[in-house]
Amino acid sequence: MLGLFLALSQSSTKCFKNSECILSYTQTVKVRKDGSLRVREDITVLSKGINIKRGIYREFPTEYKDQSGRVYRVRFEVIKVLKDGKPENWFIKKLTNGVRVYIGRKDKFIKPGIHKYTIVYETDRQLGSFEDHDELYWNVTGNGWRFPINKVEAVVELPPDVPKEKIKFTAYTGYFGSRGRDYEGWIDERGRVHFRTTKVLNEGEGLTVVVGWPKGYIESAGMLQGINWFIRDNSEYLPLWLVVLGLALFYGIAWIFVGRDPRKGTVVPIYEPPKGLSPAAIRYIYKMKYDAKCFVSNLISAAVKGALIIKDRKDEYRILKSGNDPKNLTWDERRIAMYFEDTKIEKGRNNYYLLNPIYEALRKEFKSRWGNLFRRNTLILNMGIGLASIIIIALLLINGQFGRLISQFIFSFLVLTILGLLIIGVSLGVSWAISSAIRKPNLIDLLGWVMFIPLFLISMYVVLKLNIVPFEVLNLALVIGALIAMYVWGRKYLPQPTKEAVGILTQIEGFKMFLSTAEKDRLEKLFPGESFPKIFERFLPYAMALDIGDTWANRFANELKDMNYYPRWYSGDFRGIESLNEFSIGFESVVSSSTSAPSTVSSSTSPPGSTSGFGDEGHSGGGGGGGGGGGW
């Protein structure tokens, strides 16, 4: 009882207000020589039997996507789980992009009070390798906790031979995208980097740390994503391979006649966006899809034109009508301006039921208006793969092989899958190591194929020699793999922009070229009589839509600062252009997380190690690890 009183007396008022909270969150991250991490978390919670009934759960992101859309997966392996120093029951539930570790028993409630949970886990592919240093950009708590956190302490242990004086560090606190500095940090005599928060973290806020050290102390680690592979082999099964060849020819001819993009015109800078297109419309045509950045650029454009006011508060965004009715709004900007009255959008929360209706309505309308600019050629794609599949099944039935092969295929498929992944892994791992050693990353693919082909042939010889997989089953597996590979190719290359779309895309490229190179003096000459801040604001949503918002904003940061620029449509802790960048990142994250019902782990929008946490790109929630948690 005395311990409970002392702990509560030392906790903040925030914890009392929220009834249940995390009193302390202590984490030790040990960086190993092979690049993997061993992490220990001690989470002390105050339970009152409201949300924390059986225990807590801990979420951890394991799947990311890079800018090209390729999947990036990290390992997450629980080593040990304790409650109050004793082993505790736990189980894992798979989520869309990660896992949730439940601690406790479904049939047993814990006593209200203070409980300390310990989780020890290992993970890999979390380090960033840059030209002049290696780096851990790490979300200690993540931005997905459903409770406030009174105090966070984190310790990062590097390999013992890393020179203490060569270590650099920084950290960020707050909601996703924030660059708060409510922490203190130091390096002890053993070279361990310590971090400690100095303010209570609200629900949805987190601590992200960045530690950098010279290269050469961590072994090269990480692997590229798998390579689609198939090989043409075995003349005995020529009919099946003739079907494969026929599908390849069909898709090739289809690409020549309906898949090739019309020839683009010469791209020259143009000083205005294509007529009648909002920032969101430009992005939709440019990317062939409607996404969160379309929505955000639309919102900012409506605000810049005077229809909305955006209030950026610590825990929320407020979108208000300005009281004006600008006549120059596009239809989609007007739709957004009409939707928001005095709307509160909470940071660190999934605002699905608030934002998804307008997001989905705009997405469908955009597809209706501009979807015909692109021919998907879906009928041709599906007809090819469908006809090929029917012919192959017919051939197997005619030869009396269908039933026997299918029954053998299930087991053989597992064997071939494991073997294929092993070969790909070895090939890519060796090629990555060699290319890193000789500092020629562009040779990874070539070296990978040089390794893959002999390993594949040797493996197939061993498989056949030992009769692990029947010869005919092997051929069938390769045929199916070839069909899948061609179908994937067709989905990517058979869609075709119309001539009208190519004309618009050429204009968009020219407009982007202008935005990427424009200077203040040139802009003032092109638009005489208009103040420079208005010129800057008019083009800002378009630059954001074309993924050059930072370039556009940072180029004029000093000039706008000298002019005491403050956007009339934005209300918040405005510290210059950096505040607009933070708002754009943070609000885009909120929209992205709110377009589907909550079922994912809070995580960074880019894979671990793909960006550095030092400099302008670093922010809370931007690194690997993290996630969040709650009670159950």
**Is 212:614 a contact under the CB 8 Å cutoff?**
yes
φ and ψ of 337, to 5 deg: -60, -35
Contact (Cβ atoms closer than 8 angstroms) between residue 57 and residue 98 = no
Output the pLDDT for position 394: 77
Q: Is 190 helix (H, G, I), strand (E, B) or coil?
A: coil
pLDDT at 408: 57
In single-letter form, the type of residue at position 79 comes to I
Q: What pLDDT score was predicted for residue 121?
A: 95
Q: Which fold has domain 21-222?
A: Immunoglobulin-like (2.60.40)
CA distances 594 to 71, 95, 345, 528, 544, Å, are: 21, 16, 10, 41, 20
Of 123, 245, 288, 195, nearest in space to 624 by CA: 123
Token pair, residue 171, equals: 């950290």
Distances (CA, A) of 593 to 91, 295, 354, 518, 586: 26, 13, 12, 34, 11
Residue 605, SS3 per DSSP? coil
Decide if 360 contacts 596 (C-beta within 8 A).
no
pLDDT tens, position by position, 325-347: 888 899 999 998 888 888 888 87
Q: How far is CA 604 from the centre of its chain?
A: 6
Quote the CA–CA distance of 449 and 472 in Å, as a whole number.
25
The SS3 assignment for 542 reads helix
Tell me the C-alpha distance between 23 and 117, whole Å: 12
State the Cα–Cα distance between residues 28 and 3, nearest whole angstrom: 24
Q: How far apart are CA 449 and CA 428, in angstroms?
A: 8
Question: How far is residue 190's CA from residue 213's CA, in Å, rounded to a whole number?
Answer: 15
DSSP E strands, 254-382: 308-312, 316-321, 342-346, 374-375
Q: Greatest CA span in the chain, whole angstroms?
A: 83
Q: DSSP assignment, residue 547?
A: T
pLDDT one-digit tens code per residue, 79-122: 999 999 999 999 998 887 888 999 999 888 999 999 999 999 99
Q: Identify how many contiguous H helices and E strands the chain contains and give both numbers.
A: 17, 26
CA 198-201-202 angle, to 5 degrees, is: 150
- Spatial neighbors of 40 by CB under 8 A, at least 6 apart, are 27, 28, 118, 119, 120
Structure letter (DSSP) for residue 158: P
Pair type for strands 624-625 and 134-139:
parallel
H or E element that contains 184: strand 183-187
Q: State residue 621's pLDDT score.
A: 73
Query: Which class for 50: exposed (0-12), middle (13-18), buried (19 or more C-beta within 10 A)?
Result: exposed
Token couple for 505: 């895309």
pLDDT of residue 592: 74
In a 10 Å sphere around its CB, with 0-12 CB exposed, 13-18 middle and 19+ buried, how is residue 266 labelled? exposed
* pLDDT number for residue 293: 87
Report CA-CA distances (Å) from 218 to 147, 150, 152, 306, 378. Answer: 36, 34, 27, 53, 47
Virtual torsion, Cα 235, 237, 243, 248, nearest 10 deg:
-40
C-alpha separations of 251 from 219, 256, 381, 498 in Å: 44, 9, 8, 19
State which residues of the chain have pLDDT below 50: 1-13, 68-69, 221-236
Q: Are strands 134-139 and 206-213 parallel, antiparallel or unpaired?
A: antiparallel
CA angle, residues 209, 64, 37, in degrees to nearest 5? 45
CB atoms within 10 A of CB 287: 14
Does the pTM surpass 0.75? The reply is no
For residue 551, give Cα distances in angstroms to 195, 513, 538, 547: 32, 12, 15, 9
- What distance in Å separates the CA atoms of residue 84 and residue 518, rounded to the nearest whole number? 61
- Residue in 58, 176, 169 with CA at minimum distance from that of residue 119: 58
Which pLDDT value is given to residue 132?
86
Give me the residue spans of the domains in the chain.
Answer: 21-222, 279-375+496-599, 377-493
- Give the C-alpha separation, 616 to 609, whole Å: 16
